[in-house]
Structure 1
Amino acid sequence: MTPLTTNMIADTSDVYDAIKAIEKQRLLFPAFEEAYRRIIRIHKMALAGNRPRHLMILGPSGAGKSSVLEEYVRYFPVIEESEFRRIPVLLVEIKSSPTVRSVAEDILKAMGVPMAYRGSVNEKTDRVISSLQKLKVELLMLDEVQHLLGANKRSFGSNNETEWLKTLLNQIEIPVVLAGLPYGQALLSTNEQLRRRLDGVHHLTPFSVEDEDSAANFAGVISWFDSEIHGGTPIGLHEGDMLYRLFYATNGLIGYLSKLLIGAMEIRLEHGKKAVENWMLEESFRQNLWAEGVGALNPFHKKFVRRQLNKVNELFATTAFSAIAASAT
């Protein structure tokens, strides 16, 4: 076995710089742009003095929800001045298995409030409200809101966490973006006021190849990545049956497509090749998406049969919890 050396690390620095440059970019596909515009709408309406409206953005993992939020908050950095600090847009991720205490604490931490862990639930809630006001937060974005619904069917509906969220939204009087998996829409059944003040639900759905228009949209996304991972000279990655192989490898999810193609680019650069080859895609799929995706279960293998990888224990199989959650919405 060859030992790791400083030279080995130095030799790969250019590779990772190239990867970082692509990962920092955002592909503004239509559904992404629409979600972005809808966030702008509720933000600007509140700044103009209108009653705050809320927005829900839903989609499966890898559809781009978190990227939309991250891209929006990037344009509203924290303002540090000598006598005060402002956070125009606050992004908070709801952790799995949350409690009211932990959610309040996470919001306080996101604002940089010292000793966020101290105090009772009521005291933490009061600090959340006062800190949002003090730091002049204009828009609150909560990611992974489906976690508030709990981890079993009995949790769907009103619980301590959803009731707390309802109370918080009533008191802070700023627009809120709620983002999460599709079953997060069940939050609306627990909160009539939220439904009434909602500016709508925006769904980020996977790309499809079911018809010509859908396939053309997916091909356009692949072409963008194709150009990026080949230094501006695409090789036609969407041509022939490759469009369908890429679809089955990613289930039409842009997050998975990005991991797959950037991973293939890394392999290409490490081997000093000019273009991504089929074996690189096969290896990237196994390394970056599904370790068990070998042989006939790898969309880039010669024995692969064109189909979605959604059977039991496969990459895109429906989990037992997802099925329960879907039935509760």
Structure 2
Amino acid sequence: MTEQNPKLPVSAREYLRLFLCQGDSTPSVMEKVRRRYIKTKRDDILLAAFDKLLTDLCERPDPGRRDNNWGEAGEVNLLLVLGPSGAGKTRSLKRLFSTHPALRNAKGQQGPLISLSAPSPCGVKELGKAILKATDYTIMRTHVDGPEIWGMIRKRLPLLGVLLIHIDEAQHGTQIRDHTEKQKLLNSLKALMVDRGHPVAFILSGLPEVADFISMDEQVARRAGWISVHSVCLPSDTVMLTEALKSFANLAKLDVSANEVTRLLPRLVHASDNRLGILVEEIHGAIRYALGVKATELKVIHFEKSFGERTGNLPQWNPYARSDYKAVDVWRMLATRDKPDPAVTKNRKSVRSSETKGDRS
């Protein structure tokens, strides 16, 4: 729920937007660009895994019975979507949730799915409170223990018809150092998954280390379906990336030539470290820069300038500005002067020290 100052006629963000756009409520060019979604093969894989999760969740143990006693939960009621930061996991899941027909519900009603980001720290109490908050329930009392919080969850979910819980940034659960606390967190999730009266399925998305966290408990791990978000690669993704680049440019009414695409794609993939989410952000940044300078054609120079502004790097540390772009460390920031590699410097000092000792002997 968005908090709004009662003294303002609109939210703080909307007020700022109206000020910057001088009252224009129509979507800006960049809003249209950022709204565009790149559909890839991963979306089909994700949809198939999600449909399987739903099917396992609603399969009846005894189809001949007509009552509401569903009995034991299905064997697979946990889906893990894992990949590095910037791979595009969160946006892919948001699109899936917003377009899947099984998740549509009447306006104003709680649908079968709630989505939240794992708190940090992500202990049993903290995660329980976050789940309750996602159902529009806030605990007002100061002293409430974990078992009571999860008891509230078990009562509230059936009343709202919630059957699926998506937890993003699930790697926050791996940051708990105490092994016993980690197991308590897994037990809390497991208790909801195997609940006889109202079993709930989980979708956990996050960094690859979530796999180790889930593997701590065999009962949880065996119920899981696993999806690893793959990297963007050339030449296998050339067609997809070319179409995506042209699609974004067209939304901004910018032309992009075939020669520019050929020069750009390898640098773009390297600059994004082969991660689709970062790659899309690179395109957004270049288009914003091109629009700012009143360009009519999207070019490599716009990506170069945008990358430089984002990282603070000079051209020699910019993959769009160098012919040997693969030599650029794209995670380096504020590279404004040529610093020797620490490892090389250390090796040189070791060699000099050895030579000096040899001369003395």
C-alpha separation in 2, matches of 1:33 and 1:25: 18
Q: Who is 1:99 aligned against?
A: 123
Q: Who is 2:258 aligned against?
A: 236
| CA displacement, residues 214-263 of structure 1 (integer Å, 9 cap, x when unaligned) | x2314422431322223375433774332211111101111111111111
Choose which of 241, 245, 263 in structure 2 pairs with 1:225. Answer: 245
Q: Structure 2 length normalisation: TM-score?
A: 0.72
Pairwise CA RMSD: 3.2
C-alpha separation in 2, matches of 1:277 and 1:302: 15
Q: Who is 1:327 aligned against?
A: none
Is 1:261 the counterpart of 2:261? The answer is: no
Choose which of 19, 22, 30 in structure 1 pairs with 2:41. Answer: 30
Q: Is the contact between residue 83 and residue 229 of structure 2 (CA under 8 Å) also seen in structure 1?
A: yes
Task: Note the residue ranges of structure 2 that are not aligned, 5 or more in a row.
Answer: 1-16, 62-72, 336-361
Is 1:59 the counterpart of 2:92? The answer is: no
Which deviates further from its counterpart, 26-35 or 215-224?
A: 215-224
Deviation of the 1:279 alpha carbon:
2.2
Q: Who is 1:272 aligned against?
A: 294
Choose which of 312, 317, 320 in structure 2 pairs with 1:297. Answer: 317
Q: Is the contact between residue 64 and residue 254 of structure 1 (CA under 8 Å) also seen in structure 2?
A: yes
What is the identity, as a one-letter code, of the residue corresponding to 1:110?
Answer: A
The structure-2 alpha-carbon separation of the partners of 1:138 and 1:57, relative to structure 1 and needing over 3 Å to count, comes to same
Q: Who is 1:186 aligned against?
A: 212
Choose which of 283, 305, 329 in structure 1 pairs with 2:305. Answer: 283
Is 1:167 the counterpart of 2:167? The answer is: no
Deviation of the 1:168 alpha carbon:
3.6
Identity of aligned residues (%): 18
Deviation of the 1:72 alpha carbon:
2.5
What is the identity, as a one-letter code, of the residue corresponding to 2:37?
Answer: R
Is 1:195 the counterpart of 2:221? The answer is: yes
Q: Who is 2:30 aligned against?
A: 19
Q: Structure 1 length normalisation: TM-score?
A: 0.78
Deviation of the 1:79 alpha carbon:
3.9
Q: Is the contact between residue 123 and residue 185 of structure 2 (CA under 8 Å) also seen in structure 1?
A: yes
Q: Is the contact between residue 223 and residue 237 of structure 1 (CA under 8 Å) also seen in structure 2?
A: no
Q: Is the contact between residue 229 and residue 262 of structure 1 (CA under 8 Å) also seen in structure 2?
A: no
| CA displacement, residues 55-93 of structure 1 (integer Å, 9 cap, x when unaligned) | 111111111211122112324356456xxx432111121
Task: Note the residue ranges of structure 1 that are not aligned, 5 or more in a row.
Answer: 1-5, 210-214, 316-329
Deviation of the 1:305 alpha carbon:
3.8
The structure-2 alpha-carbon separation of the partners of 1:14 and 1:249, relative to structure 1 and needing over 3 Å to count, comes to farther
SS of corresponding position for 2:173? helix
Is 1:49 the counterpart of 2:60? The answer is: yes
Larger radius of gyration: 2
The structure-2 alpha-carbon separation of the partners of 1:294 and 1:205, relative to structure 1 and needing over 3 Å to count, comes to farther
C-alpha separation in 1, matches of 2:280 and 2:237: 16
